Chains A and B, each alone.
Chain A
């Protein structure tokens, strides 16, 4: 668990926190927002399928699809950030 020469970890950590904040805002918006809090207001909009009230769809389908995308986006962005900061052949 020792890292001999210390990289500019501060910037890396700030970038990470910013990304987490953005993704968690989306996470909360689709589930707690569209799926629960505003679900009743969205009940008369039938989307994205002809038979699904929008709020109900977000609660039972849309939020889950979004969660999957969020994790993949995070993994892709962070793994790239890791390469930038912590790869030995660094500056690509």
Chain B
């Protein structure tokens, strides 16, 4: 069977599975729609959280980012996993004990303030939409590349699928489809990884292959890659660029952002007890770590393969002798070759490349980093069904994350805005209807953003983290760990953290991208890491404002006491 037939078959089969699950788990109350009735076992919640969390960017982007940035890409690996330690130790058990439906619910009740709730709702909706645009785009890219469907139609098909299970099943439907999607995506990620590891490093386990010295070679795979990088004028693969403070700031911002993302937090509301929240955080990170520790190995294999293709035995290769995958991906503009010196050879070099006479060499090849995972099976010449599997996996990753985010948007609207603010007398039945309508509308907005994306996949996602790190994370943390943190302090902190972080990012990313260099950044910290500073501002402002305003009411302090301890159990 050809690639297209395999792809159609696998994608069709996986979509059918999601729809069947959705129909079987229709939500009949707001409790089921918002938090799956709190009946999800910890292991299943771990899988669902992993799928919820691992987005199109994780599946397609992470290995690609590391492949192109080497050591500096580690910030994503540590940031997007280390956040779970914060989540498991500092947030998840207490929020589960609190037990209400949304993150704005916690903020609103802990800080006894509709303003705080409103700020949280706006943040939740903004963060979720920035993030969901990337997912829908990912769906479109997979469809256009693998099935030669127009990106727009790809997005529309993806919207249709999400619409069915998110609107029908709410959190209940989403949870069990996410469990299935985790299985699809991890299988789809691991199979090619094992294949490539066998081809490149002669080892079944990619984690070992990546640190090995291949048979018949004097040097290890990484040392060879470092050598190639040096020859071609790229920076050393296994060493950082040197801006340590920036790497620290980015890593921390990604960690705190991960812990503060509403669609991840809300997953911990769905388990029966506090102890299950802790356990499911353990499962979740274990399932995530399978992909995140394999990705750096895939990155090394892919990078080596790529360089070996265009730069063989110490010389640049002619364009007309490139393998078929090279031309296919050129057709999608994800690989671009511009023969600047007209010699027909592909000069693929870094910034500091020089030829034998010491003259600089101009780079002629641009490769979109998102293709590293998608094109890898073709580069390594793997069977057709493996290529098709990658397409189904990419879709599973994108759809599962999109659904989780859309649910946050819909609950924010129906529960926090309508029920808790504009129309407190809303009946349960009408609230459920409102939640479905909001979910439907959110799918449409997400689709629009996917067709007209504000940036490319990983870039847009990074934006959401800084904002979550500077707003939710500190507010929730202080709400649990400092009993006397009050409304005035928390709101002031969130507002300052948000405005500072957003302005910094908007200034350097959108208004003056040409000024976004290390000399101009404050403290040498890039827009990606600025959430860490925003978070520090948030804490500081909150502490100062709290010190000269009134303590929170006694019942709020009592509530903090209560969320700190688990429910009583009888064995």
Write the residues of chain A forming the contact surface with B, with a CB cutoff of 8 angstroms: 1-3, 7, 9, 12-13, 16, 20, 23-24, 27, 31-32, 35-37, 39-40, 43, 46, 48-53, 56-57, 59-61, 63-65, 67-68, 70-72, 74-75, 78-79, 82-83, 85-89
Partner of A1 from B240, B282, B562 at Cβ < 8 Å:
B562
Contact B279 A57 (CB under 8 A): no
Partner of B77 from A9, A12, A59 at Cβ < 8 Å:
A59
Contact B88 A74 (CB under 8 A): yes
Contact B238 A86 (CB under 8 A): no
Besides A27-B85, A39-B71, A71-B282, 16 more A-B contacts (Cβ < 8 Å) are A2-B562, A3-B568, A9-B564, A24-B89, A31-B251, A35-B78, A61-B207, A61-B293, A63-B81, A64-B78, A65-B289, A71-B84, A71-B85, A75-B278, A78-B93, A88-B569
Residues of B within 8 A of A65 (CB): 289, 293
Contact A57 B569 (CB under 8 A): no
Interface size class of B (residues with CB under 8 A): 35 or more
8 closest pairs, A vs B, by CB? A51-B220, A49-B211, A59-B74, A75-B278, A52-B211, A60-B296, A88-B570, A56-B238
Tell me the bound Cα distance from A89 to B78 in angstroms: 41
Partner of B90 from A20, A79, A83 at Cβ < 8 Å:
A20
Contact B221 A51 (CB under 8 A): yes
Tell me the bound Cα distance from A48 to B212 in angstroms: 11
Contact A75 B282 (CB under 8 A): yes
CB-contacts of B209-249 with A (<8 A): 210-213, 220-223, 238-240, 244, 247-248
Number of A-B contacts (CB under 8 A): 162
Question: B281 an interface residue at 8 Å Cβ cutoff?
Answer: yes
Question: B390 an interface residue at 8 Å Cβ cutoff?
Answer: no
Residues of A within 8 A of B319 (CB): none
Contact A51 B211 (CB under 8 A): yes
Tell me the bound Cα distance from A70 to B568 in angstroms: 25
Partner of B285 from A9, A37, A52, A71 at Cβ < 8 Å:
A71
Partner of A27 from B82, B213, B220, B571 at Cβ < 8 Å:
B82
Tell me the bound Cα distance from A82 to B222 in angstroms: 46
Contact B570 A79 (CB under 8 A): no
Tell me the bound Cα distance from A32 to B289 in angstroms: 18
Question: B208 an interface residue at 8 Å Cβ cutoff?
Answer: yes
Tell me the bound Cα distance from A37 to B242 in angstroms: 10
- With A74-B89, A82-B275 already in contact, the answer to whether A87 and B282 are too (CB < 8 A) is no
Distance in angstroms from A80 CB to nearest chain B CB is 10
Residues of B within 8 A of A70 (CB): 85, 89
Distance in angstroms from B525 CB to nearest chain A CB is 14
Contact B77 A60 (CB under 8 A): yes
Contact A71 B566 (CB under 8 A): no
Contact B274 A82 (CB under 8 A): yes
Task: Convert B65-107 into 0s and 1s, putting 1 for each residue whose CB lies closer than 8 angstroms to a CB of A.
Answer: 0100001001101100110110011100100000100000000
Contact A32 B77 (CB under 8 A): no
